[in-house]
Amino acid sequence: MPKNIEYYDVVVIGGGPAGMTAAIYCGRARLKTILLEKNLLGGLATYTNEIENYPGFPEGSTGNDLMKLFERQVKKFGVKIKYADVTGVELEGETKVVKTFRTDYHAKVVIIATGGKPRLTGAKNEEKFLFGKGISFCATCDAVYYTGKDVLVVGSGDAAIEESIFLSRFANKIYISVIHDVGIMDANKVAQEAALKNEKLHFIWNTMVDEFVGEDKLETVILRNVKTNEKIPVKVDGCFLFIGYVPNTDIFKGILNMTERGYLITNEKMETNIPGVFACGDVREKILRQVATSVGDGAIAGFMAEKYIAETETFEKEFKGVKGPQLVFCYDPTDALSREKMTIIEEYGNHHPEIKINKIDVYKGKGLAQRLSIKGEPCLVLLFDGEIKEVVPLVEITRNSLEEKVRTIMHN
């Protein structure tokens, strides 16, 4: 079957907190936007029992309720939501293509918010107790729910030990299953020392999870000693897994820059290594993965998408589409040399109204300047019919040299 093709300003891949926030910003900016989600709007946040550290909700909220509010706001701004699995992407060039089984979506901007998934143990019955039935992946999110209860933590890295210490503020007793020999952990030394001194933490060494047991909710975790194969039942109200996190970035491998662990690398503007492609939320390399930080990422990505599209339209109309000679003065108003050369440029423009002169304030932003294949530093760019002919450093700009350079490009 031939594929359908649909055209948008922005395609957002992923419907978690970051993706929905980016979509809200794009929709509110009157950009034609579609959000593609494979499974469930809200992502992993939907399964969080209670979120108490998201601003604006002093009484807290369940993850499901909070994500429903996000969804309502996305729809309010006219964003189209489509449940589909993205099978491939073409991100180079001005038009990006996001592929699904039935449709190819062409867009000016792609925002990647595919998130990730916690690494599972692979033990028996694990799937039965995921998502609010006893197995959790975020102590910061769910600790209050386990106030006065007994829990098990699986793992011994920084996240496992630090989150165990955090859990000790709420839970009655925290068992920690560690695969290594007695006293050996993967966490940093400071966390190890603090954990070993914490009377609420009880380590079960040389163990891994063999089975999860319970009716409607988790009741017991059966551990197995990796040396003796002894089965150790541990009665708990909940279990936290901190054995790693897997970002959903397989389809971007070889296309976008990422860390060894597969997280996408961005700058503070959420820009990836490809212009017009942004990444936000848990899918990017960052220090804290929470709903609040995902919302911040998504807001920046949505704002930058609008800015990128506006700059593209300006560049096509005011720079690339200009016929004949054109001067583009890239300046920094805080720089004395820029202010000095500005006078020369403006005088030249007054004497030659037939020459198109554009100015780019690189102090405010370097996006337009970088589209001229320069780094965004103050300089003068000479173009003819939209093509760059010469880039002139500020120190070389004089009244006489300017006249000569323009005559040269006009006769060549």
pLDDT digits (tens, 9 = 90+) for 283-323: 999 988 889 999 999 999 999 999 999 999 999 888 888 89
Burial label for 97, CB within 10 Å (0-12, 13-18, 19+), is: middle
pLDDT score, position 168: 95
Position 288 scores a pLDDT of 87
Residue 213: pLDDT over 80: yes
Reply yes or no on whether the pLDDT at 47 is more than 80: no
Confidence of residue 2 (pLDDT cuts 50, 70, 90): confident
User: Residue 19: in which H helix or E strand, if any?
Assistant: helix 17-28
How sure is the predictor about 131, in pLDDT bands with cuts at 50, 70 and 90?
confident
d(CA 108, CA 272): 15
Instruction: Report residue 210's pLDDT band, with 50, 70 and 90 as the boundaries.
Output: very high
CA-to-CA distance for 4 and 102, rounded, in angstroms?
Answer: 6
Record the pTM: 0.79
User: Does domain 321-411 match CATH 2.40.50.100?
Assistant: no
Q: How far apart are CA 332 and CA 338, in angstroms?
A: 6
* Confidence grade of residue 409 (pLDDT, cut at 50, 70, 90): confident
Instruction: List phi, psi (to 5°) of 152.
Output: -120, 135
Residue 285: predicted pLDDT? 95
Q: How confident is the model at residue 158 (pLDDT cuts 50, 70, 90)?
A: confident
What pLDDT sits at residue 366?
Answer: 86
- Which has more confidence, 230 or 289? 230
Overall average pLDDT of the 81-95 stretch:
95
Residue matched to tokens 């017991």 = 220
What would the mean pLDDT of 217-235 be, rounded to a whole number?
A: 96
Please give the average per-residue pLDDT across 110-131, as a whole number: 92
Give the 3-state secondary structure of residue 51: strand
> Tokens 């040389």 identify what position?
206
Q: What is the average pLDDT score of the chain? A: 93
Fold held by 4-116+245-315: FAD/NAD(P)-binding domain (3.50.50)
- pLDDT(134) > 80: yes
Q: Report the pLDDT value the prediction gives residue 249, as an integer from 0 to 100.
A: 96
Which residue would you say has higher pLDDT here, 104 or 319? 104
How far is residue 286's CA from residue 300's CA, in Å, rounded to a whole number? 14
Mean pLDDT of 272-288: 95
* Alpha helices by DSSP H, 30-188: 63-76, 139-142, 158-167
Distances (CA, A) of 118 to 43, 241, 364: 12, 8, 40
Instruction: Report pLDDT for 49.
Output: 64
Domain assignments of the chain as residue spans, ordered by start: 4-116+245-315, 120-241, 321-411
Which three-class secondary structure state does DSSP give residue 275?
coil
- What pLDDT was estimated at residue 371? 86
- In which residue are the tokens 């143990």 written? 121
Whether residue 27 contacts residue 112, with contact meaning beta carbons closer than 8 Å, is answered with no
For 225, the token pair is: 């000693």
Q: Among 129, 395, 344, which Cα is nearest to 237's? A: 129
Per-residue confidence band for 3, with pLDDT thresholds at 50, 70 and 90:
confident
pLDDT band at 140 (very low <50, low <70, confident <90, very high): confident
Catalytic residues: 138, 141-142
Q: What is the pLDDT of residue 149?
A: 96
Give yes or no for residue 144 having a pLDDT over 80.
yes
Q: Poorest-confidence range of 262-266, 367-371, 408-412?
A: 408-412
Which CATH architecture does the domain made up of 120-241 adopt?
3-Layer(bba) Sandwich (3.50)
Say yes or no: do domains 4-116+245-315 and 321-411 share a fold.
no
Query: 244, 177, 173, 240: which is closest to 209 by C-alpha?
Result: 177
Q: Cα angle at 60 between 55 and 64, to 5 degrees?
A: 100
**What band does 117 get if pLDDT is binned at 50, 70 and 90?**
confident
